């Protein structure tokens, strides 16, 4: 992707891909980046053409100026550097799989998170093992893109692609052993900017812009459509995460969206926590200290308070277990992530 993005994207986020480095040692690639971007800045808001910001939250992630066309650089062509929004790097970092883990990426294409999971897992297990990452993708056309991305990232033989619906997964022996999952299902995409979509966020803005106090009939219908759509998405998202939770040896699940809507985020978490089966299986929201504790923007406590009214401490704990990123304001796309554990 090499679009004119500098008017929409404040930062171009890249990560060094250890899978394309000798012995997974990223230092040579970093040296190359230093040559291209000699001026290191302390905060992403200070990025100018030619400068680089070393992200403080995710290892091997850097911010550069969108006008510095990284796509024409050799490092990018060789798959040593991958363009990936910083927030989109949260899930694999939170899952942090190690040498004893077997991982499913339940909604994988185009594969940014899949290859990032591999970047965590491969160095500790080696390449001669049988696949330890299973990537599911329902759409055959998108699974081709996934395959290509995985090959470019240098982990083609290590990841097994399953073209099909993850929620219809028959559970053969190998999936019984899965310990960790990333669930990043289709969502409204309301956190992605530069995309023209009618959603309630835009409607709210339009209303404010036009100082419309009461929605007229037409606007109300659009708003109802949006609510219906969000409800449908939320119920699908709930089903995918619940299915992930049914895997017998799963211990850790990271759920994420690039939506700003609570319906797809905190409220999905709430519905899962209220589900009898989920409770029986013993799943809970992982505490803040396991979910990038230094990231300042957390979940919306008021959403939890609407349901767990009498328990302020619980609402606070749940909200702090969630991560949010606001579009643009936090340097990239809008994002939500939460980790379930048992
Ligand atoms: N995780 C990806 C990444 O970081 O590159 C982005 C995933 S995108 C938000 C959601 C993907 O899930 C889409 O490619 C969609 O086709 C796929 N999908 C939706 N429902 C699915 C299902 N039931 N099983 C498997 N894949 C599904």
89 known member of a binding site = no
Q: What is the arithmetic mean of pLDDT over 247-262? A: 97
Ligand 1 atom with the shortest distance to the CA of 149: 5
Cis amide bond preceding 58, omega within 30: no
Q: Which of 21, 258, 315, 339 is labelled catalytic?
A: 258
Higher pLDDT, 64 or 127: 64
* CB contact at 8 A, 38 and 91: no
In this structure, what is the dihedral angle of CA atoms 62, 64, 69, 70, given to the nearest 10 degrees?
A: -10
pLDDT at 137: 98
Nearest CA to ligand 1 atom 22: 165
- C-alpha 48 to ligand 1 mean position (Å): 34
Determine contact, residues 284/340, Cβ cutoff 8 Å.
yes
- E strand map for 176-275: 180-183, 252-257
Distance CA 311, CA 70 (A): 49
pLDDT, greater one: 53 or 175: 53
Asked if residue 112 has its Cβ within 6 Å of ligand 1, the reply is: yes
Which residue puts its alpha carbon closest to atom 12 of ligand 1? 107
Residue 50 pLDDT class (50, 70, 90 cuts): very high
Quick check: 174 pLDDT over 80?
A: no
Where b means 16+ CB within 10 Å and e means fewer, 60-97 reads: bbbbbbbebebeebebbeebbbbebbbbbbbbbbbbeb
- Catalytic annotation present for 258: yes
Backbone angles phi, psi at 200, to 5 degrees: -65, -25
| Interstrand relation of 12-16 and 61-64 (parallel, antiparallel or unpaired) | antiparallel
For 137-166, the pLDDT digits (tens) are 999 999 999 999 999 999 988 999 999 999
Please report the atom of ligand 1 found closest to the CA of residue 106. 25
Tell whether residue 108 is among the known ligand binding residues: yes
Pocket test for ligand 1, best of 138, 152, 237 (most atoms within 8 A of CB): 138
Q: State the burial class of residue 23 (Cβ atoms within 10 Å of its Cβ: 0-12, 13-18, 19+).
A: exposed
Q: Tell me if ipTM is over 0.85.
A: yes
Give the pairing of strands 335-341 and 252-257.
antiparallel
pLDDT by residue (tens digit) across 195-246? 544 344 443 344 333 433 445 666 676 788 889 999 999 999 999 999 999 9
Ligand 1 center to residue 183 CA distance, Å?
8
Pair 117, 95: CB distance under 8 Å: yes
The reported pLDDT for the residue numbered 208 is 38
The answer to whether the annotation marks 137 as part of a ligand binding site is: yes
Is residue 248 within 8 Å of 335, Cβ to Cβ?
no
112 marked among binding-site residues: yes
pLDDT digits (tens, 9 = 90+) for 180-198: 999 999 999 999 986 544 3
Describe the strand order of the beta sheet including 61-64 as a list of residue ranges.
39-41, 51-54, 61-64, 12-16, 81-83
Cα separation, 220 vs 226, whole angstroms: 10
| Mean of the per-residue pLDDT values of the chain | 90
Q: Which of 83, 92, 109 to mutate to test the pocket of ligand 1 (most atoms within 8 A of CB)?
A: 109
Can you give the pTM of this predicted structure?
0.91
Answer yes or no: is 85 a known binding residue: no
Expressed in angstroms and rounded, the spacing between residue 309 Cα and the centre of ligand 1 is 34
Question: Where would I find the beta strands (DSSP E) of 123-221?
Answer: 133-137, 159-163, 180-183
* Calpha distance 173→176 (Å, rounded): 5
pLDDT of residue 218: 66
Phi and psi torsions of 31, nearest 5°: -60, -45
Q: What is the pLDDT of residues 93-137, one digit of tens each?
A: 999 999 899 999 999 999 999 999 999 999 888 766 778 999 999
pLDDT in tens, 73-100: 999 999 999 999 999 999 999 999 998 9
Q: Ligand 1 within 6 A of 185 CB? A: yes
DSSP β-bridge partners for residue 39: 51
Ligand 1 binding pocket includes 165 (Cβ within 6 Å): yes
What is the rounded distance in angstroms from the CA atom of residue 136 to the CA atom of residue 131? 13
Write down the pLDDT at residue 223: 80
């Amino acid at each position: 992707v090499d679009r004119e993005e500098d008017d929409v994207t404040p930062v171009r986020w890249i990560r060094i891909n250890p899978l394309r480095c000798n012995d997974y040692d990223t230092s040579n690639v970093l040296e190359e980046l230093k040559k291209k971007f000699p001026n290191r800045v302390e905060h992403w808001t200070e990025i100018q053409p030619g400068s680089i910001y070393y992200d403080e939250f995710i290892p091997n992630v850097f911010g550069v100026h969108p006008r510095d066309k990284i796509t024409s650089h050799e490092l990018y062509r060789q798959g040593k550097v991958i363009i990936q929004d910083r927030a989109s790097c949260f899930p694999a970092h939170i899952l942090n799989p190690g040498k004893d883990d077997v991982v499913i990426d339940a909604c994988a294409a185009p594969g940014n998170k899949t290859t990032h999971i591999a970047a965590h897992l491969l160095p500790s297990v080696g390449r001669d093992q049988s696949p330890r990452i299973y990537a599911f993708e329902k759409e055959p056309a998108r699974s081709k893109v996934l395959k290509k991305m995985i090959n470019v990232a240098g982990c083609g033989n290590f990841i097994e692609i399953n073209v099909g619906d993850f929620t219809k997964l028959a559970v053969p022996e190998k999936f019984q052993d899965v310990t960790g999952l990333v669930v990043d299902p289709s969502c409204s995409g309301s956190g992605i900017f530069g995309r023209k979509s009618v959603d309630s966020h835009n409607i709210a803005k339009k209303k404010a812009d036009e100082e419309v106090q009461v929605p007229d009939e037409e606007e109300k219908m659009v708003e109802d459509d949006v609510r219906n759509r969000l409800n449908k998405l939320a119920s699908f998202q709930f089903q995918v995460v619940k299915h992930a939770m049914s895997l017998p040896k799963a211990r850790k699940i990271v759920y994420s969206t690039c939506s700003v809507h609570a319906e797809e985020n905190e409220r999905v978490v709430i519905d899962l926590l209220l589900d009898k089966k989920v409770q029986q299986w013993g799943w809970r929201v992982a505490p803040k200290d396991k979910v990038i504790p230094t990231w300042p923007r957390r979940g919306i406590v008021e959403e939890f308070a609407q349901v767990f009214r009498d328990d302020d401490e619980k609402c606070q704990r749940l909200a702090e277990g969630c991560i949010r990123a606001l579009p643009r304001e936090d340097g990239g796309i809008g994002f939500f992530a939460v980790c379930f554990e048992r």
